[in-house]
């Protein structure tokens, strides 16, 4: 169903984008998944290369993406908190192992730290109405995009307090979309953001959203969550 990426995309991986550097404390280095795989459509690969080229001048940065939350922590933080003996929380956007079946995405952060763009391909497991992505999948994409922006602004843990979405047009399964988020206001612990989800040609506005994130102390899992 999905066309695999060409040599150009694989070259991006070969140039060091494919794997995070191994940490001294983890026997297996976490795999950065915000890179092309066989599930990415030609359109997804093409847009990814376009965004990488745009990032070459330093105005944007591709954010690595992992299956588990703790893999995001730099090694020095892992050493300080001593958390590497247990796995971090599983990020459900990365839970589908079959390439191309679920969320395929790469998030880019603007140098200002106040804007994120998520290039996303919504796979067939995310179907709601026949042929279209489930609204909850769109909400997840938006939450992750604005959440990453809020993390960058707060430089600390954040939680979604409020997310308001207007769904304006259905997103076909397999479509490649761009969620474009920016910080609107920052008041103490409160970070207000906006987000627009469009097709890559910017012809169709699929959804628009506003969000409020609250900066919190590092979240600890409840006892029952040790699955």
Ligand X SMILES: CCCCCCCC/C=C\CCCCCCCC(=O)SCCNC(=O)CCNC(=O)[C@H](O)C(C)(C)COP(=O)(O)OP(=O)(O)OC[C@H]1O[C@@H](n2cnc3c(N)ncnc32)[C@H](O)[C@@H]1OP(=O)(O)O
Catalytic residues: 143
Query: Could you tell me the two tokens for 165?
Result: 């979405």
DSSP annotation of 174 reads T
The Cα–Cα gap between 16 and 122 comes to 25
Q: How far apart are the first and last CA of the chain?
A: 34
117 three-class SS: strand
DSSP annotation of 21 reads P
Of 44 and 152, which has the nearer Cβ to ligand X? 152
By the 8 A CB rule, do 99 and 150 touch?
no
Q: Min. distance of Cβ 151 from ligand X in angstroms? A: 6
Q: Min. distance of Cβ 12 from ligand X in angstroms? A: 20
Of 104 and 143, which has the nearer Cβ to ligand X? 143
The residue number whose beta carbon is nearest to ligand X equals 147
45 three-class SS: helix
- Interacting residues with ligand X (CB under 6 A): 69, 72, 143-144, 147-148, 159-162, 188-190, 212, 214, 216
Sign of CA dihedral 47, 48, 49, 50: positive
Of 129 and 162, which has the nearer Cβ to ligand X? 162
Of 57 and 218, which has the nearer Cβ to ligand X? 218
By the 8 A CB rule, do 182 and 149 touch?
yes
Q: Min. distance of Cβ 134 from ligand X in angstroms? A: 17
- Non-local CB neighbours of 87 within 8 Å, separated by 6+ positions: 68, 70
Q: Min. distance of Cβ 188 from ligand X in angstroms? A: 6
């Amino acid at each position: 169903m999905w066309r695999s990426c060409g040599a150009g995309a694989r070259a991006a991986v070969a140039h060091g984008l494919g794997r995070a550097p191994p940490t001294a404390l983890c026997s297996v280095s976490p795999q950065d998944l915000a890179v092309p795989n066989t599930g990415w459509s030609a359109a997804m690969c093409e847009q990814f290369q376009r965004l990488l080229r745009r990032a070459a001048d330093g105005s944007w940065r591709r954010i690595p993406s992992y299956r588990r939350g703790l893999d995001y922590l730099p090694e020095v933080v892992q050493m300080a908190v001593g958390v590497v003996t247990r796995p971090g929380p599983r990020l459900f956007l990365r839970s589908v192992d079959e390439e191309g079946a679920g969320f395929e995405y790469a998030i880019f952060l603007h140098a200002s730290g106040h804007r994120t763009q998520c290039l996303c391909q919504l796979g067939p497991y995310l179907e709601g109405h026949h042929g279209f992505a489930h609204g909850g999948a769109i909400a997840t994409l938006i939450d992750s995009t604005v959440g990453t922006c809020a993390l960058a602004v707060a430089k600390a843990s954040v939680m979604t307090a409020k997310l308001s979405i207007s769904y304006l047009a259905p997103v076909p399964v397999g479509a490649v979309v761009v969620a474009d988020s920016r910080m609107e206001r920052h008041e103490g612990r409160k970070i207000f953001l906006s987000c627009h989800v469009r097709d890559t040609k910017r012809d169709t506005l699929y959804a628009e959203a506003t969000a409020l994130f609250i900066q919190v102390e590092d979240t600890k899992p409840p006892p029952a969550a040790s699955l």
